[in-house]
Structure 1
């Protein structure tokens, strides 16, 4: 067999050239489980709002790994000991942190599987790959699970200021064209240090942290929780729930074998074994889009109309308020729909519903972003900052929404 050069580079629009550090990382990137991420949208259906948001989980994983390489170099320069084995563990953990995402990222978690998060599935993929690669991922799995004794390494993977967030905020800002969400991730990384096994940011980086938190807040309201994006994701979740209900009633829906399996099975943490994982690995955005293109012509009123709404971007109307939605408003829209189309309340509930969205830019109760002052003292960013609005950013803001059809469906 012809041997291939495994020290390749990727040309990334955000960071320029990203290098693959070793043959193990190359082989993981080449693996079919990781290549599947090329077919998983990073931002779900946000392209219905921002036409440029067609980047994938593959882009994001490589970008996060690139930032981790930079973070390791910075910390080593500051005399933080990181062995070659630990470096590999960090790079693999961040590279594979999102490998368990399903089609359109989060929609599947709320429809096709029960109480199985993408983090759980990522871990299952990593365990399977660890067997295939003769235990080479053992350290990475320990870091990913937060069990490795050197806590700052776990914080680089998952914390209020991790390499995941450092990449997706900058990347999503770039692809959506929302400049206010842009952050200087490389400046933030340059300011990282470790004190008492905890990740800290040096005092001179305090303004970069403030910008990071403000950008995060802005991106959630303007992009991730944009009202059109909220409607689209709710519709997709309801499409999958309706399809599952119809299949379980005995109807046959045209779709891929992988999607058919999840529509006809009750998948829970206990039943999500190695066989289910193999089928999950065949599932991506293309399965869902192809299914919706077929289902828009189905005789079921609910399924066909929901699919048409997404395929043709003719979505439900949405109202967002600061106070909970009145029950009487929901009832009025539900009754009107039932009367106009002679459908049941159960069917009408697919089109008329309410919910809430919450935005917390800084979850200080969960974990702190600590600032290392010149005096050697360590303070939480909220106390160290002279920005009064940072305290407000740590308080959750909840808004309430109601979705219902336009006058004519």
Structure 2
């Protein structure tokens, strides 16, 4: 009888060799639900700005699992008791934390999937896998939902200094080439400890935390909130909204069956049944980009024009503003486009719109990053540091913008 060798290793450009800790983790990685993440881009359309940013959520999930292994090893070395069952549950929870991401996730969440966050879909996938694997994911789900009594375990998965953020900053920095986002994750993990069931960073690691927060701030402005990335994602959102609008009117658009399902049906949290989940599991970046390639030749002016913008990287003009945009100015731009292309007001709104960007590297109102002082007391990093940087980074910065076709610049 053939037996599969499940003790595999991955060669990762960020960390070197990543080992799979056991057979269950191997089977989860091999599952079609997880393999789909190979076809989901980690940074969406950011490759239109940074050509190297083509890495996937599969990459990211494995990286998170790897640094979780390091975190468990560090905490055990410092005397924190973590059972084998808890260890495995942490690996499963962090491995699957992003499994609910759809293609170009944020654009999809604001267009063809109604008001359901990717974390909720991740939980649906985990529950489905738990049934398939005879309850072996139960503890991981409990930790993921924040229902496990050991609070620090959830903090390792979801907090202001978790394995997720540590990996995506380092990984996205590497693939995009935005060097300012690079962090010293090894140092941060070595400084971790647990005090009174709270994840803490030892005082001598405080400068590494400051560097982490600065890197996060810079990555948001230079990569995630780069104005070209923003307008590209918003254009994609508009494309999917228009496609759904046309489909709901009975117009058949060429696309894959999984994408067609979500265009034809209103899917919200309550409607996300087994059929919706299995269909969602078949949906990836290729479905969306394949459809957009076809839609650029559609008879509908709005759908074809927006699709061409993405395919040819000839995007709307985005102008950044310090204050909220003037509504009268926006209406004037819409009227010009409506007149120029014989569009209705509703159609013109696909080409002229406003928005805002918010960047807050550290939220002091949320669960804090806690610093363990030498006298064993615990403080919020805002109160611990002698630097003004963290206080400044905890203030939200909001920028406004308007988007409109470049043809208006020539008018």
Q: Provide the TM-score with structure 1 as the length reference.
A: 0.99
The equivalent of 1:51 in structure 2 is 51
Deviation readout 1:156-209 (Å, 9 max, x if unpaired):
000000000010000000000011110001110000000000000001100100
- Which stretches in structure 2 are left out of the alignment for 5+ residues? none
Which whole-Å CA distance do the structure 1 matches of 2:141 and 2:112 have between them? 26
Which whole-Å CA distance do the structure 1 matches of 2:105 and 2:387 have between them? 34
Which whole-Å CA distance do the structure 2 matches of 1:62 and 1:329 have between them? 48
Which whole-Å CA distance do the structure 2 matches of 1:299 and 1:311 have between them? 17
The equivalent of 1:106 in structure 2 is 106
The equivalent of 1:275 in structure 2 is 275
Q: CA deviation at 1:303?
A: 0.1
Deviation readout 1:295-341 (Å, 9 max, x if unpaired):
00000000000000000000000011110001122112111111111
Structure 1 residues 104-183: aligned runs within 5 Å: 104-183=104-183
Contact map agreement 2:42 2:55 (CA 8 A) in 1:
yes
Contact map agreement 1:11 1:17 (CA 8 A) in 2:
yes
Contact map agreement 1:41 1:105 (CA 8 A) in 2:
no
Contact map agreement 1:193 1:200 (CA 8 A) in 2:
yes
The equivalent of 2:316 in structure 1 is 316
Deviation readout 1:72-129 (Å, 9 max, x if unpaired):
0000000000000000000000000000000012111101111111000000000000
Q: Does 1:204 align with 2:204?
A: yes
Give the ranges of 4+ consecutive aligned residues of structure 1 lying more than 2 Å apart after TM superposition: none
Contact map agreement 2:298 2:304 (CA 8 A) in 1:
yes
Contact map agreement 2:217 2:359 (CA 8 A) in 1:
yes
The equivalent of 2:393 in structure 1 is 393
Which whole-Å CA distance do the structure 2 matches of 1:363 and 1:31 have between them? 36
Contact map agreement 2:181 2:219 (CA 8 A) in 1:
yes
The equivalent of 1:28 in structure 2 is 28
- Which stretches in structure 1 are left out of the alignment for 5+ residues? none
Contact map agreement 1:42 1:105 (CA 8 A) in 2:
no
Q: CA deviation at 1:386?
A: 1.4
Which whole-Å CA distance do the structure 1 matches of 2:3 and 2:253 have between them? 44
Q: CA deviation at 1:2?
A: 2.3
Q: Does 1:300 align with 2:300?
A: yes
The count of corresponding residues between Structure 1 and Structure 2 is 409
1:62 match: secondary structure: helix
Which whole-Å CA distance do the structure 2 matches of 1:198 and 1:253 have between them? 52
